[in-house]
Chain A
């Protein structure tokens, strides 16, 4: 624990020093936000560095001089430590795996470019190349089986260009053509969703990526409205179509309660089962959801959704799947 703490402190200090060694120093609040720690933590780190002056012998020239004024820290160095250090083995591994995730969602030449870049950055920026460590990982970034859809839509979101989608809703007989301005991509519970403006509906809609059968980029550009906030389409870790949802109460049996409790807000029953209140925009979604758990999940209410499960299952009793 102590070693871990020291290692994190060292990483912070080796970043903080070059950041604050410019003529204007650096804001402590900004440093804290960048490093995701409290300003007090940053001040304690600084204190520990400056305290080195007390135990060094007389005549020793401090390699680092740090001053804190109001909320700004300024560092003077003897010339060293004014650059960030190379990527650590774990940072290099994160970069290598991140590029492999992007490559997983790309095809052909683009995929090769990303893999080649991964090799170049690994050897150029890392203190120790991560390549030997990557062999024990296999990654699937959630792009539906490497079709390149995720990369295409991400690119549309980054470049602010619309995408044309062939979208197949569950239960539909034909895919629908949609011209969509992808505002944000959201990963939730094993699926990627595109939240974007649908030209056809003239409204923001949510699309599940694995239901996109085809996609192509267009040259049409868009701007994201200033009042758009993806958080409006997210609640308790799930994505939903804002404004159209109803509550569905689902009971999960004791045998799977442990797993449900880890990912949902649950109400516990005396028999060990748990209840979850889902906000549902599409009743077909909740039907598929409970059926995916077989008899271990049951819609408690509303009655119309129970009816829907019964109607869905009835033909199966005769058809045999």
Chain B
């Protein structure tokens, strides 16, 4: 009985989560006429044409998003991972407070964060403001994910490596980083997914020339026909879905670490 109920719940959840994507996909691959509207002119007749139209129109936003992600992913890891390690392994007075404080941006509305960034960093270019905004949302994820992994490391491994003649860099390279690799990969994927889909900050910091893809999507939904917006969404989702699948895989890997290979 409870088993059936469970299956039903899972099925409902799966439907709720995938139905919008399925409908969007159907929309993207269908003809505009089916929706009773033609807004994009005669050039857009079939699905391939629609996609090339989308990439042509939002190409700049797409490359902007890629640039932002390319900056945010390594920076978030470079800031978050050493901080997580320090919080857990080299605690200092106030480090607990600081660790909690590092998580607060997650609870701040994007609007507020965007305005704060514009107000406080007037001289900084919009691109780096945007990167800063994304870092505020992604560094906490890295701190949390890597911090939990650091916690599971045997604190005796470092002294053991030292007693075998390894210096600090050698320990990082041969012991700490390999053991944290699953957590680092997981956080990189999380950062990618969040940064790629971030809308609030991106939208508010956007200028006509500096627009990330999600901001472009918003415009597509407000100004274009449904097939065009749907096609844009599919382009947007293309890298996210593999990333989410990989997150599942690595999230699972976390628990298998140290078990028989």
Do A and B interact with each other, yes or no? Answer: no
Give A contacts to B, CB under 8 Å.
none
Residues of B within 8 A of A (CB): none
